[in-house]
């Protein structure tokens, strides 16, 4: 099953309006009321009236602005060019017959006299240079901002964008019951509250978001039920997901969710500070007794109706590593049943007949396989494993017994592998016997291998394949090792280049 997915949301696109300091065309001969005109960029459509929101808490896209909608206008100077009298939160009202925002009381001869300009939507009369970013219910307003655009024929044009960010939470295994009954709220707790103000400098006007000890840090996510994924060509309904708009720069302390057993789980998503104008989708599932977050790729918060999600698969914990190894060894042993394929789909994606697995967290493997009696985590590897620069530490057995043609391992870090064997079989921290494939970009440090057979930092014996761009260090004690310590022994046909080794060989 291909779990690379699309996520289909209600359409939204920011209205492209106008703000500017460039005077590209001639201005009118006589003054006119200040007007802000809209046009459409990239095939998008305008933001909707404040009174209509989609299920995700942002504004619907299709109807467009309506009579009476308002934006707040800021400028560095006034209409005469006086830098001491710039505007702050001047209201402009949408006039449907003219398809623009207008202030009849402000007559403008030369719009470029304003120099730098800025606007936000929706307007709130109480704002000054300080901007209230919260709705009456305590949620974060989907504020659109624009500034420094162009001036054509005396008209100011702004291009609006989302000022903040959106977190999308998709409940996975272990949260299905609470997702279906809707009785348990999903709460997002931030590390610090945020407030906003319009910041004017000699070179720009923008919305600045800052830490505020008095601002709200706890938000309830909105429950959304009209969501679908696509898996391959199949459209699959998702019972529910949750969305919450958060100020840019926010860092999450925890996400509070209730699992299927009624236990409240406090989930640390481990995410960096949010940047403005992006959606951040995550999947939260239970793995054993622990909640695990799987990150999708972040998505620009644009007017696209279809949002492609992918990358929920991967290995995130010691339990994942162990379960993946069991399923993969079963698969390469000849069992390609639906149950095995479904199990592997949690950790990888099948593309053109090749599994692509990835590591999505640092994992301490201390004692994980020590008492199992296995000689390696994986018996025979013929697919793709992307370590994504994460680290497996304290492995007591090699990662692979054999790598065959087509097998690929990239960007994996291994720290302090400690492998002691009594047999004469070749031993390497990554693979015992390499019959083909590629190992590249791996960093294997503080190795300790004691074996009666050949000992290598990467491979015990390399009979075919490519080993390139790896870094190794540590202690090798075996019957033989190559001069660079990369392998215990290797055939001349093996490509072994651009590796860095400080292994001590005894």
Task: Let me know the angle formed at the C-alpha of 181 by 180 and 183, rounded to the nearest 5 degrees.
Answer: 130
- Please check whether residues 220 and 296 belong to one and the same domain: yes
pLDDT of the residue at 348 = 84
pLDDT of the residue at 152 = 67
| Residue 121 placed within a domain | yes
pLDDT of the residue at 292 = 78
Rounded average pLDDT over 147-160:
72
- Please check whether residues 149 and 289 belong to one and the same domain: no
Please name the residue that has the structure tokens 């001069």. 483
Domain harbouring 248, CATH code:
2.60.40.2630
- Please check whether residues 172 and 280 belong to one and the same domain: yes
Mean pLDDT of the chain: 81
Domain harbouring 112, CATH code:
2.60.40
- Please check whether residues 209 and 192 belong to one and the same domain: yes
Q: What is the pLDDT of residues 164-210, one digit of tens each?
A: 999 989 887 788 755 555 567 899 999 999 999 999 998 889 999 99
Name the residue range of residue 63's domain.
9-162
Please name the residue that has the structure tokens 């006007």. 205
| Residue 243 placed within a domain | yes
- Between CA 198 and CA 116 the distance in angstroms is 12
Task: Report percent pLDDT > 70 for the chain.
Answer: 78
| Residue 1 placed within a domain | no
- Please check whether residues 324 and 300 belong to one and the same domain: no
- Please check whether residues 344 and 486 belong to one and the same domain: yes
Rounded average pLDDT over 8-28:
33
pLDDT band at 68 (very low <50, low <70, confident <90, very high): confident
- Please check whether residues 324 and 415 belong to one and the same domain: yes
- Between CA 357 and CA 385 the distance in angstroms is 5
**pLDDT beyond 90 at 107:** no
The domain boundary, picked from 309, 341, 364, lies at 309
- Please check whether residues 109 and 22 belong to one and the same domain: yes
**Can you list the pairs that 267-270 forms with residues at least 24 positions away whose Cβ atoms lie under 8 Å?**
267/291, 267/293, 268/293, 269/293, 269/295
Q: What is the pLDDT of residues 358-385, one digit of tens each?
A: 888 889 998 787 666 789 999 999 999 9
The domain boundary, picked from 136, 162, 188, lies at 162
**pLDDT beyond 80 at 304:** no
pLDDT of the residue at 398 = 95
Rounded average pLDDT over 290-315:
66
- Please check whether residues 254 and 271 belong to one and the same domain: yes
The domain boundary, picked from 309, 330, 365, lies at 309
Quote the tokens at residue 492.
């001349």
Specify the number of domains making up the chain: 3
Q: What is the pLDDT of residues 406-462, one digit of tens each?
A: 999 999 999 999 999 988 999 999 999 999 999 999 999 999 999 999 999 999 999
**Confidence (pTM):** 0.58
- Please check whether residues 152 and 60 belong to one and the same domain: yes
- Please check whether residues 156 and 186 belong to one and the same domain: no
- Please check whether residues 131 and 174 belong to one and the same domain: no
| Residue 2 placed within a domain | no
**pLDDT beyond 80 at 240:** no
């Amino acid at each position: 099953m291909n779990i690379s997915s699309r996520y289909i949301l209600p359409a939204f696109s920011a209205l492209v309006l106008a703000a500017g300091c460039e005077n590209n065309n001639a201005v009118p001969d006589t003054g006119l009321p200040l007007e802000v005109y809209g046009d459409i960029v990239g095939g998008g459509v305008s933001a909707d009236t404040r009174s209509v929101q989609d299920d995700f808490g942002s504004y619907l896209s299709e109807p467009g602005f309506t009579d009476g909608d308002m934006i707040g206008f800021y400028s560095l100077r006034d209409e005469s060019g006086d830098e001491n009298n710039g505007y702050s939160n001047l209201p402009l009202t949408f006039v449907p017959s003219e398809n623009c925002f207008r202030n009849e009381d402000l007559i403008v001869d030369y719009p470029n006299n304003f120099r730098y300009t800025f606007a936000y939507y929706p307007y709130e009369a109480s704002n000054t240079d300080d901007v209230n970013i919260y709705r009456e219910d305590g949620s974060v307003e989907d504020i659109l901002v624009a500034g420094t655009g162009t001036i054509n024929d005396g008209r100011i044009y702004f291009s609006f964008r989302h000022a903040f960010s959106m977190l999308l939470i998709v409940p996975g295994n272990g949260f299905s019951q609470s997702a279906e009954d809707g009785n348990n709220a999903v709460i997002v707790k931030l590390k610090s509250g945020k407030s906003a103000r319009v910041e004017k400098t000699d070179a720009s006007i923008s919305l600045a978001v800052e830490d505020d000890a008095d601002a709200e840090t706890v938000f309830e996510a909105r429950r959304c039920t009209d969501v679908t994924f696509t898996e391959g060509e199949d459209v699959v309904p998702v019972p529910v997901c949750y969305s919450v708009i958060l100020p840019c720069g926010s860092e999450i302390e925890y996400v509070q969710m209730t699992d299927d057993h009624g236990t409240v789980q406090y989930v640390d998503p481990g995410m960096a500070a949010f940047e403005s104008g992006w959606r951040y989708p995550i999947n939260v599932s239970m793995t054993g007794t622990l909640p695990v977050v799987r990150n999708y790729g972040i998505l620009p918060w644009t007017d696209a109706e279809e949002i492609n999600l992918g990358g929920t698969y991967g290995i995130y914990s010691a339990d994942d590593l162990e379960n993946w190894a069991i399923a993969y060894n079963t698969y390469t042993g000849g069992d390609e049943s639906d149950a095995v394929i479904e199990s592997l789909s949690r950790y990888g994606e099948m593309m053109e007949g090749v599994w692509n697995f990835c590591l999505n967290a640092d994992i301490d493997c201390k004692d994980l396989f020590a008492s199992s009696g296995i000689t390696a985590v994986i018996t025979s590897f013929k697919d793709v494993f992307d370590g994504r620069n994460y680290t497996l530490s304290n492995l007591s057995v090699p990662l692979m017994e054999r790598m065959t043609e087509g097998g690929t391992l990239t960007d994996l870090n291994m720290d302090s592998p400690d492998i002691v064997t009594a047999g004469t079989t070749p031993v390497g921290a990554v693979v015992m016997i390499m019959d083909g494939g590629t190992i590249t970009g791996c960093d294997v440090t503080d190795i300790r291998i004691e074996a009666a057979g050949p000992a290598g930092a990467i491979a015990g014996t390399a009979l075919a394949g490519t080993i390139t761009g790896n870094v190794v260090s540590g202690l090798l004690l075996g019957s033989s090792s190559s001069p660079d310590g990369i392998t215990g022994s290797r055939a001349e046909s093996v490509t072994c280049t651009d590796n860095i080794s400080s292994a001590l060989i005894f």
